Structure 1
Amino acid sequence: MNSWATPPPALDDCILNVPSPHVLLVTLNRPKRMNSIPYALHWQLEALWSWFDDEPSLRVAIITGAGNKSFCAGSDLIEIDKVNTAKQSGQVDAEPWKHSHPKSGFAGLSRREGRKPIIAAVNGFALGGGMEIVLNCDMVIASPTASFGLPEAQRGLYASGGGLPRLLRTVGLPVASDIALTGRRFSVEEARECHLINRIAKSSESLLREAVEIANSIAAISPDAIVVTRAALREAWETASVERAFQLTHARFDSRLMKGFNAKEGLAAFKEKRPPRWQGSKL
């Protein structure tokens, strides 16, 4: 079905589709567990996003949840309870790293740097780790019935997937404090008002179609430009100095971008008044 250079890694409880050329759709498929994520799936998803970054035929990805109730309810608390009970009873874990998150965070996304953009299509509630996924995606579109929250503090915990500094950078200290310290759930309208999401879908039924339309608009531009523009935005978000962020991105990419095929092709297509014929990014 797909002319991928290499096959994607094996995944449990996830469905992969290509709804449009150059677009990968990843669906968390655990609706009976509210699309919560067990330990093993975090590592599998990290491998998937690494593969996605390296796969030349793909330019943008979408992540969503199965069903219409939950995007992702966070960690699989039943599994966590079993692991903690085993530890308390003195059972030795032969592979303790498997009961943690990878470096890229919750679902391989909440602390991901990556090369290519990922869009969150939030089809229901995004709570805890689910919201931390949203906070580090490049764009977010949500169903009219979606809701959001970081309830960890209500359970004596804290949002440990990297979401708190990203929340603060996006909405500022007062709003971030309101969300994280109360643990309250808030609506899709409030999420849009404080710039946590880009848009609200016309309906729950049209959510994925609208997400693919956004993805198509990204996939239509130069793959090199996608990588470099995203890197520049991320550098500015992560770096305290605006000028330093520019310098780092410029030094890393400017020469390589301009020497590459796609920059030359884009200029040639403009001059010749024709659609560009992009190649996979070599950056």
Structure 2
Amino acid sequence: MGITSNRAGPGVTQVTIDFPPVNAPPVQGWFDLASAITAAGDDPETRVVILRAEGKGFCAGVDIKEMQRATGHDALIGANRGCAAAFGAVYDCAVPVIAAVQGFCLGGGIGLVGNSDIVIAAQDAYFGLPEVDRGALGAATHLARLVPQHLMRTLYYTARNIDAAQLHHHGSVYEVVSRDKLDKAARALADEIAAKDTRVIRRAKEAINGIDPQPVHRSYRYEQGFTFELNLTGASDEARDAFINGAKNA
């Protein structure tokens, strides 16, 4: 369990998220994910990274229970910095990152997928930001990379989800496959990229990031500032407590 890396084939490194039951990594898990992705990109033998997950869903975001168990603001600060590190590692990875998504992709999962280079999704995959229902803000930066502006705002304000087929329609999901073919589809695309001259692909990644109109690091940190403000008002604790109590009673 946790974050693991393995060589999935020539030039392909696979990084796997595995935090049962819902892949909501604790604070350290986000930093471990950032380290694994950065290390993969820094490895000259790696030409492509596949980011995947075990279990029924890709990622449910941060571990809210860890945050509510903690005293003070260390867990909140840790989660925010950990997410920023992991999202940034995906974006800054020296080689292309393919996200292979099944089931739920929520909260922090959107940050990972939104910063990936390519997204392949299972037919059962769905994506959303429940942040406003949890007393937090963040990852609108990354949702805006997946859907048009007005749709992003609708999804953000309502905390509704959008499925893989809809994202495929918008062009942000490259391919939708049955769940049993997800890893195979991600690997096939990774192998195609890995067969190319890695010197060119690495420069291509750097060049594409360099012309990106959205400053993803800065805009996400800007969003996080409002989450801290909501925590100071008490709104965030109330929302998180309501979520945890609701989960217990479900």
TM-score (norm 2): 0.78
In structure 1, the residue matched to 2:164 is 188
Q: Which amino acid in 1 is paired with 2:53?
A: G
**Structure with the greater relative contact order (CA < 8 A, sep ≥ 6): 1 or 2?**
2
Tell which deviates more after alignment, 203-212 or 150-159: 150-159
Q: Deviations over 1:194-217 (max 9, x none)?
A: 22311101x111100110001001
User: Matches of residues 109-124 of structure 1 in structure 2 within 5 Å?
Assistant: 109=88, 112-124=91-103
How far apart, CA to CA, are the structure 2 residues paired with 1:140 and 1:169? 12
Q: Deviations over 1:215-246 (max 9, x none)?
A: 00110111111111112222222369xxxxxx
CA 1:142–1:96: 2 relative to 1, 3 Å: closer
In structure 2, the residue matched to 1:176 is 152
How far apart, CA to CA, are the structure 2 residues paired with 1:153 and 1:198? 28
Is 2:185 aligned against 1:210? yes
Q: What SS does the corresponding residue of 1:71 show, helix, strand or coil?
A: coil
CA 1:165–1:216: 2 relative to 1, 3 Å: same
Is 2:60 aligned against 1:73? yes
How far apart, CA to CA, are the structure 1 residues paired with 2:125 and 2:146? 19
How far apart, CA to CA, are the structure 1 residues paired with 2:204 and 2:186? 20
In structure 2, the residue matched to 1:156 is 135
How far apart, CA to CA, are the structure 1 residues paired with 2:78 and 2:214? 31
* Pairwise CA RMSD: 2.3
Q: Find the partner of 2:10 among 3, 16, 21.
A: 21
Q: What SS does the corresponding residue of 2:136 show, helix, strand or coil?
A: coil
Q: Find the partner of 1:55 among 32, 43, 50.
A: 43
How far apart, CA to CA, are the structure 2 residues paired with 1:123 and 1:205? 10
CA 1:56–1:110: 2 relative to 1, 3 Å: closer
How far the C-alpha of 1:190 sits from its partner, in A, is 1.1
Q: Deviations over 1:67-117 (max 9, x none)?
A: 2x210000011111112xx128xxxx6x99645424x71634477323111
Name the one with the larger helix percent. 2
Contact 2:110-2:143 within 8 A present in 1 as well: no
How far the C-alpha of 1:37 sits from its partner, in A, is 1.1
CA 1:157–1:26: 2 relative to 1, 3 Å: same
Q: Deviations over 1:28-57 (max 9, x none)?
A: 11132x111110111122222221122111
Q: Which amino acid in 2 is paired with 1:54?
A: D
Contact 2:30-2:79 within 8 A present in 1 as well: no
CA 1:120–1:126: 2 relative to 1, 3 Å: same
In structure 2, the residue matched to 1:233 is 208
CA 1:136–1:124: 2 relative to 1, 3 Å: same
Is 2:174 aligned against 1:198? yes
Q: Find the partner of 1:87 among 72, 76, 79.
A: 72
In structure 2, the residue matched to 1:101 is 81
Identity of aligned residues (%): 29
Tell which deviates more after alignment, 108-117 or 51-60: 108-117
How far apart, CA to CA, are the structure 2 residues paired with 1:178 and 1:110? 28
Aligned residues: 215
CA 1:111–1:140: 2 relative to 1, 3 Å: closer
How far apart, CA to CA, are the structure 1 residues paired with 2:90 and 2:45? 24
| Structure 2 spans left out of the alignment, 5+ residues | 216-250
Q: Which amino acid in 2 is paired with 1:226?
A: I
| Structure 1 spans left out of the alignment, 5+ residues | 1-11, 241-283
Q: Find the partner of 2:32 among 44, 49, 65.
A: 44
Structure of greater Rg: 1
CA 1:178–1:99: 2 relative to 1, 3 Å: closer
Runs of 4+ in 1 over 6 A off after TM superposition: none
Q: What SS does the corresponding residue of 2:58 show, helix, strand or coil?
A: strand
Contact 2:110-2:142 within 8 A present in 1 as well: no
Contact 1:63-1:120 within 8 A present in 2 as well: yes
